[in-house]
Chains A and B, each alone.
Chain A
């Protein structure tokens, strides 16, 4: 009897079909992830003139990226690990990385959906329009920025085994990021805390997004924000991989 090892493309195609189906069945939580930045965007209509279109869009996309990485991804991983879903997959003849790669590809699709929803809402409700290059770079920056929060979610799931504790910690982190991030960006928390927010994962991603949507404003500082964003991703990913256990026992 011959031993058949499935091809990587066949493995990924099967895993992706299952993971996208799972995401589709959880569409209520997907809608919530999309709704939060969209509602903020609509409610900030009066601030567009004062703060600028890219400021408002970048803030809203950053909030959406936070929700994807911290609320969606990390909780799904924690739950499936606790239920033994990963262990069941890992006894199949597939490399372990393919299980996570499939999960992450689904989250990249979520980033695409959130960013598109924010751009469309911004265009129709807040009358914010960008150049085609601005939209394109905005999407690229959203993917780069989104990886920070996915990596942070991975680090939290690596550090904490209990899915309920993961849920509580990610909610708290999400709340801290969006509240301190948003108020800090609006200059309401004073200079020192404003500087902390500026170089936090919230501030660097938000500024990277903002400059990408309006490429003329790209400066040396933006390059530093990009490097900081990449640095955060590498740091969180390293911790996430180092600490991560496939089971909770």
Chain B
């Protein structure tokens, strides 16, 4: 698979985001191609969620351009969102609604035909055949993530944004989610993933952007990032087991200080 030949499903150009006088995102540019899992990594407060919020249209950037599936967010925000599937970090659904009702709601607002057969198939696909009448809050963390992901994908968007989708999941659920992401990549969906797990980024991402203090400090494949920085003194200093990992590179580039 040669991603270079594929079309971009997301283009972010010279993005600047301010909260009052504080600049959260500085001149951020990257693109994501169809069939690519793109990781956006950074310490807390680095600007990941602000960048995603701008792509989702929840936050208006002070400058820069965002294009999803060829539509500019400034000119065609509804077209952008129609091509976007989103799993938010802090998200929930109406707690009074059952899973089936939530699926019907999101199918309806994405103009997706939904019948009982299709509902059954969706529930079977996420292994929740018997949980259709349950409320979202009654599901386990892993089940909630599967529901969130299937809702984000209900309209087959070209670009999927996943904001820390595996946080709080057990290893089995995490692996299952990775497999689902990889299956989506095979179907040519572009995916932007934010995560604090370097293991996850290394395992599933085709390319990674490391963002810190609102700026992208490096973009490359996980292997290339490790190779490029393996001899940096900061990276060697961060290494704990002799072998250089993506986490060592990440800490070497962003520092050891804990961010709030």
Contact = CB atoms under 8 A, between A and B. Distances in A.
Interface of A: 1, 3-7, 10-11, 13-15, 17-18, 21-22, 25-26, 80, 83-85, 87-95, 246-247, 249
17 contacts: A3-B71, A3-B83, A4-B82, A5-B82, A5-B111, A6-B110, A11-B109, A14-B105, A15-B108, A18-B105, A84-B88, A84-B91, A85-B94, A88-B93, A91-B84, A246-B58, A247-B58
B106 interface: yes
Interface residues of B, number: 33
B83 A10 contact: no
Nearest to B156: A1
Interface stretch (B96-104, B209-217, B228-236): B96-104
B105 A15 contact: yes
B158 interface: yes
Contacts of B92: 83-85, 88
B64 interface: no
Contacts of B109: 6, 10-11, 14-15, 89, 92-94
Contacts of A94: 78, 81, 109
B90 A84 contact: yes
A13 B92 CA distance: 21
Interface string B55-68: 01110000000000
B45 interface: no
A93 B105 contact: no
A4 B108 CA distance: 12
B86 interface: yes
A13 B158 CA distance: 26
B82 A11 contact: no
B247 to A, nearest CB: 28
Given A3-B79, A11-B108, A87-B88, A22 B94 contact: yes
A136 to B, nearest CB: 33
A3 B69 CA distance: 9
B108 A91 contact: no
Given A6-B111, A17-B105, A90-B57, 6 more contacts: A88-B88, A88-B92, A91-B58, A91-B84, A91-B88, A92-B106
A6 B105 CA distance: 12
A3 B97 contact: no
A14 B102 CA distance: 10
Contacts of A11: 108-109
B214 to A, nearest CB: 17
Interface-centre pick from B82, B84, B102 (highest chain A CB count, 10 A): B82
Contacts of A18: 94, 97, 101-102, 105
Given A85-B93, A85-B94, A4 B57 contact: no
A25 B96 CA distance: 6
